[in-house]
Amino acid sequence: LGAPIPAGVEWQRALKGVWASKWTDRAVSSRRQMGVPEDNLVLAVLVQPLAFASYAFVIHTRSPMAGANKEDALVEVVVGLGESLVSNSPGRALSASVGPAAGGAIEVHTYPSKPTGVFTPEGGTHIFRSDSNGEDLEGFAGAGLYDSITVAPCPHRPVAYASEPLVFDAAFRNKLLRRLFDLGRLVEANFNGQPQDIEGAVLKDGSLVVLQSRPQV
């Protein structure tokens, strides 16, 4: 898709690692607990160039928080790539409820505090992403059970929150949260209004990229 893996790059380890993640103890025990036959779970691998992201985000187009306004979205943002957002690494993401532009409020629940961020290697790389049918199997939510692996390791660096605009620049933060709310509504409309969980990135030039979207459960 316009971004071939360069010749000589050892990508096979990443591919095999994603395939093998179907058989981790956690994945196998989860399927057994839910009564999902092994042959019913199939795993594809998506290969994508890894974005040079300033931030990663998740948009829940309809907030799952107790007592939330039905029109609110819940938006989460971290510095760097999404690995630190979806993993159980220490610290918190920026988390905020965002209402519609016409009078909708922005309420910050937590400020970002994850001590380290994950970043794209300077020369770039590709990621082999797991894509299972687990979300489509009745009674089985398979999100997060299977691995996504980069060809080249991604550096982990401390995040300098003393100069981070997500923390200290309210105008910047609110503008970004509003853009993400609007993006969520566009994606939701593309799926006939069905609420979505959307993962994506904010690139270095400020543009937004949607990496994947799935029905909210």
What average pLDDT does range 93-103 have in this prediction?
88
Closest CA to 75 of 90, 57, 88: 57
Three-class DSSP category at 44: strand
| Per-residue buried b or exposed e for 168-203, using 16+ beta carbons within 10 Å of the residue's own CB | eeeeebeebbbbbbebbbebbeeeeeebbbbbbbbe
Q: Are 83 and 118 in contact (CB under 8 A)?
A: yes
Residue-wise pLDDT for 109-154, tens only, equals 999 999 999 999 998 999 998 888 776 666 666 567 888 899 999 9
pLDDT of residue 168: 95
**Cα Dmax for the chain:** 55
Please state which of the ranges 67-81, 91-105, 159-173, 197-211 shows the lowest mean pLDDT: 91-105
Q: What is the pTM of this model?
A: 0.85
